[in-house]
């Protein structure tokens, strides 16, 4: 019964993960005078370790400085969340930007919510909170979804319940990871949008993906223009061929000579641009070897 309640809470997002604090027990190894799980305290920054499960990989310095200015004026409005470790320190579960900004200011403490969580729970909470943020780039979100699949063993349906997103939305983000790494970097740096990425990912060849990406950058193509460009890449070009009766005289004359040389009828395919192909058929292995000897003889 307890497990069912826990899953239901996870399905409502990070806030649900943090509720029922009064019922949480102290983690093992916590001393009697140590902060209790479920309490909010002013915690010394030097006792806090960065979360190794942090899914966010980029922290913009300008944004951290802006947050630091806000904290200097108003203080930390929302406490960070930490968990107690076995080494009598605390590990960040969420709130690394607030933690970094407080360090920039030279603050000694920060409001912190203490909770009990094992490694898997800490990772899931960090990922769920990360996905809910508004300032993440599409690749960061996609990587967070992928880690929920790989490390937490969640299905797309289970993730949909956890983060409150449609399954199709999750699938669209995950498809972005099929893009060439160069294009993923371009999306993270803001050179192209997720809409551009969703169009490019329909191309299987990474070389073609990069060619399209370069055209988008060079010509500042919109998402719609990119979709048209991708469609043209995907649709085989129709080559207009010349009918046999309309072949030029020099080709018709040459066909007879080539056919006579190889000992049977050959076929010619010619395009209106002037290029073409000579097709030399063979009817058996012996016939193929005979043609090969003729070619080798005249080298």
The whole-number pLDDT of residue 29 equals 36
pLDDT band at 12 (very low <50, low <70, confident <90, very high): very low
Give exposure, 125-159, as e/b (b: 16+ Cβ within 10 Å).
bbbbbbbbeeebbbbbbbbbbebbeeebebebebb
- Going by C-alpha positions, the residue among 158, 157, 154, 198 that lies closest to residue 179 is 198
| Between 123 and 17, the higher pLDDT residue | 123
Residue 5 has pLDDT above 50, yes or no: no
Report the C-alpha gap between 23 and 81 in whole angstroms. Answer: 17
The whole-number pLDDT of residue 4 equals 38
Report the C-alpha gap between 71 and 16 in whole angstroms. Answer: 26
Clarify whether 24 is annotated catalytic: no
The whole-number pLDDT of residue 194 equals 94
The whole-number pLDDT of residue 24 equals 44
Query: Catalytic one among 66, 96, 121, 271?
Result: 96
The whole-number pLDDT of residue 258 equals 79
pTM of this structure: 0.52
| Between 17 and 249, the higher pLDDT residue | 249
Contact 101, 129 (CB under 8 A): no
The whole-number pLDDT of residue 289 equals 80
Residue 139 has pLDDT above 50, yes or no: yes
pLDDT tens-digit map of 193-204: 999 999 999 999
The whole-number pLDDT of residue 102 equals 93
Contact 247, 270 (CB under 8 A): yes
pLDDT tens-digit map of 24-44: 433 333 344 556 666 788 999
Nearest 5°: CA angle at 215, between 207 and 140? 70
| Between 197 and 244, the higher pLDDT residue | 197
The whole-number pLDDT of residue 9 equals 39
Domain edges within the chain: 2-163, 180-234, 244-297
- Positive or negative, the Cα torsion across 123, 64, 190, 196? positive
Q: Decide yes or no: CATH 3.90.1530.10 for domain 2-163.
A: yes
Residue 184 has pLDDT above 60, yes or no: yes
């Amino acid at each position: 019964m307890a497990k069912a309640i826990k899953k239901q809470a996870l399905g409502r997002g990070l806030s649900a993960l943090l509720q029922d604090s009064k019922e949480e027990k102290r983690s093992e190894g916590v001393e009697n005078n140590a902060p209790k799980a479920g309490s909010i305290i002013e915690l010394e920054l030097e006792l806090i370790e960065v979360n190794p499960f942090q899914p966010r990989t980029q922290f913009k310095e300008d944004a951290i400085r802006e947050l630091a200015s806000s904290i200097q004026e108003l203080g930390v409005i929302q406490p960070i969340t930490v968990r107690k470790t076995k080494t009598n320190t605390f590990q960040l579960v969420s709130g690394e930007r607030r933690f970094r900004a407080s360090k920039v200011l030279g603050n000694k403490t920060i409001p912190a919510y203490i909770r009990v969580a094992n490694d898997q729970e800490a990772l899931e909470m960090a990922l769920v909170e990360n996905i809910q943020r508004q300032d993440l780039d599409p690749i960061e979100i996609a990587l967070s979804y992928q880690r929920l699949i790989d490390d937490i063993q969640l299905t797309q349906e289970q993730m949909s319940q956890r983060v409150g997103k449609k399954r199709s939305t999750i699938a669209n983000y995950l498809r972005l990871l099929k893009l060439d790494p160069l294009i993923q970097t371009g999306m993270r740096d803001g050179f192209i949008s997720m809409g551009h990425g969703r169009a490019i990912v329909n191309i299987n060849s990474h070389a073609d993906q990069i060619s399209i990406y370069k055209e988008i950058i060079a010509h500042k193509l919109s998402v719609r223009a990119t979709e048209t460009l991708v469609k043209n890449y995907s649709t085989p070009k129709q080559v207009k061929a010349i009918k046999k009766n309309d072949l030029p005289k020099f080709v018709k004359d040459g066909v007879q000579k080539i056919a006579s040389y190889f000992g049977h009828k050959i076929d010619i395919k010619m395009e209106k641009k002037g290029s073409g192909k000579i097709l030399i058929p063979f009817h058996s292995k012996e016939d193929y070897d005979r043609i090969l000897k003729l070619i080798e003889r005249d080298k």
